[in-house]
Chain A
């Protein structure tokens, strides 16, 4: 099609529009993230706020830069469609809350430039940009990316104030030992490798029950699993996402986890530990439902979600990393075109393979 037909005022119907827009969709997803984010700020203090802010700003900055370099004429409009902002936000949710400033900047660069713009910008990327950045950071800078801190609510005495928070964020000083901690998944993995089974490693502060209120160490956004879940349910309610992918992710993770735990509770974490720690909720409701990198059809999304959930469990259980959600998402992103190729909706008047339905006997007119 030549460019003239693309830019010309459309004359074809429909002459009405439902009023949905990319910006509105992105805005609603961001709204859904607000409760978990605010809770994260409260839990991890000022450094986490600076991290969140800088990750988003760097994503927007790199987006603007890329658009300018590509000679896009509608920079402002594309920039404020909310997609880069959302990528930055989601990336920040997956980072350790006290990660230093350069993690945010490098992360923003990887997510936007390598994860999205080199593929051709919004709608063209094969992999989820936030997950690309998260994995690249984890593989390249394992130490700062696994530096977890114990939750230190803003109201507590020991919490760093604004200035201290800024200093922690900018200087990336080694954290005081008292604050350093391991995430539940990381802790159990380390202990299991030392030959200590789950009964012993989970005793005390790492009791899974703490997962329910989120008061434990982990990524900035993963702590508040239930608030993430609430955000996800809101998104389903307003029709931004459907239940297929999230439920499939959770099922894909929970079913093998339940079987494993039933067989050997000393070596396999329970279902609730799997679902409520790490990135399970965030991945299920906000990453696996990413429009661009997930299949088009409900059935395809179920396959996609089950794959993510199952692979997350496999990586968590036997892989080298304690958390596998990001890897699982990237693997299934790569399979999305294949899923879309094989799983298509049935066309009215045709069978699943696309052959026209038979005309009933004796009715040939």
Chain B
């Protein structure tokens, strides 16, 4: 801990945690490119938002880069064939999710030719209108490569509409173990800067601030050299601290601005993208290449040969691991399989799960790394309060949730929780705090859905009641009208008869 950190520690301005980063030696090894596997498994939902809709039929031959599933809805992303081959099935496969549930996916059998379809290149992206760049990025199926996999085009065009001033580029890579962004910045700094400039053009932002944690000095040097000629692209080293790469935290550190709790980054004139995404945007615009491969970090104590591997989207984790060198001792001592980082990644039930666009890491942990233990009671030590980057009270929230007092947990800020895991990481009692919060959020979502359903039912019931009442009323009115008419007619008849009678009387008189 340096002097400044110690000083901040005394001031209490030390949100977040400082986990052992475990990034080296994996980060220092050159990238290996994995050959195309025999079969690729492409889930239709690889991004946040609506799942894509298949546009191919079983048995159809496709070329590399060809559209195989189109975006559906406002927030969605299309999927392209990562290699040339034949569609063999559109079926359900195990999802990259702890539940081990299935997800619809397209299965593509490679033909080995790896032949590109026709691509739409562009030599001068800055001559294109900003909106056109957004469209091309959307068509290329580019999503945020930092892990959340939010469709990038939605953010680009949204930022353009909101007239943001600042593009924050996330090169923090604050998750321990992962080094794919680090590797990209070291190896392809010039292309990343080019991608950032294209994104500046697409968003209309004046300046790009590239935040890189200071535990990646090589990446900082490479990026500074690449950005030297461009004033709009500023490389800003930031202290290594988890979760520095979280949107709200990075914005605050780089711009000093705070995203309002009920607002978005756009609202304060900022949009955040990952550095890996800049590379994908560049490929999509300059070469017309859709997002069909990504860099994946293979790491963890159980991996025989950790490193970064360029993998086609849809490759099974199993095959990536065996390409990387397999598991130590064939998996003896393997305690947990994780996709993504150790702090926010997902536990997966087995290795037969495909790499998707948002997969930043494949981690195999042994028991020492996972440190599984039955939780002890909370001793109210407040470690979680000090660690929380959002300024929440995790211990109070979890005690409310344990008592199912969800509304009190919301009052304490449950909805502001970003599930970064700092609280559970520091908890001496090893209470699975994030588990509590995820559970409560799920419970609340279920309650909201149930409420919507009852509201809808209630509305229908009320409408029915209204209709019945209206019909009854109309019927009664019609009856009354008919009755009145009948009575009027009868009265008229009676009057006429009376008049006739008078007449006859008169005549007779």
Contact = CB atoms under 8 A, between A and B. Distances in A.
A296 interface: yes
A17 B346 CA distance: 15
A14 B268 CA distance: 30
B393 A345 contact: yes
Interface stretch (A118-126, A208-216, A272-280): A118-126
A19 B371 contact: yes
Contact of A347 (B269, B342, B390, B430): B390
A5 B439 contact: yes
B385 A297 contact: yes
A196 B59 CA distance: 106
A24 interface: yes
Contacts of B12: 242, 298
27 contacts: A5-B439, A13-B424, A15-B338, A16-B176, A16-B371, A18-B425, A20-B383, A20-B426, A20-B427, A21-B376, A25-B379, A25-B428, A74-B374, A83-B379, A123-B377, A243-B10, A291-B380, A296-B380, A347-B390, A348-B258, A348-B261, A348-B389, A348-B416, A357-B258, A360-B267, A360-B268, A365-B264
Contacts of A83: 379
B129 interface: no
Nearest to B259: A349
Interface string B240-270: 0000000011001000001111111011110
Interface in A13-48: 13-22, 24-25
A81 B267 contact: no
A359 interface: yes
B347 interface: yes
Contacts of A350: 260-261, 413, 416
A358 interface: yes
A163 to B, nearest CB: 41
A138 B248 CA distance: 53
A112 to B, nearest CB: 15
Contacts of A122: 376-377, 379
Contacts of A12: 98, 419, 432, 434-435, 438
Contact of B98 (A11, A123, A365): A11
Contacts of A349: 248, 258-261, 263, 390, 416
Contact of A16 (B19, B391, B419): B19
Interface residues of A, number: 52
Contacts of B346: 13
Nearest to B300: A15
B391 A15 contact: no
Interface residues of B, number: 78
A346 B260 CA distance: 12
A77 B342 CA distance: 28
Given A18-B17, A356-B261, 5 more contacts: A296-B385, A349-B248, A350-B260, A350-B261, A360-B267
Contacts of A340: 396
A-B CB proximity, top 8 nearest: A14-B421, A10-B432, A365-B162, A356-B261, A349-B261, A357-B260, A12-B435, A16-B342
Contacts of A121: 377
Contacts of A5: 435, 439
Interface string A155-198: 00000000000000000000000000000000000000000000
A5 B439 CA distance: 9
A1 B397 CA distance: 13
Interface in B315-356: 336, 338, 342-347
B391 A345 contact: yes
B382 interface: yes
Given A1-B401, A19-B371, A13 B381 contact: no
A13 B404 CA distance: 21
A22 B432 contact: no
A1 B403 CA distance: 7
Contacts of B402: 1, 6
A319 interface: no
B389 to A, nearest CB: 7
Interface string B378-419: 111111011011111101100001101000000111001001
A356 B261 CA distance: 5
Contact of B263 (A25, A297, A359): A359
B267 A359 contact: yes
Contacts of B411: 354
A292 interface: yes
Contact of B268 (A22, A242, A297, A363): A363
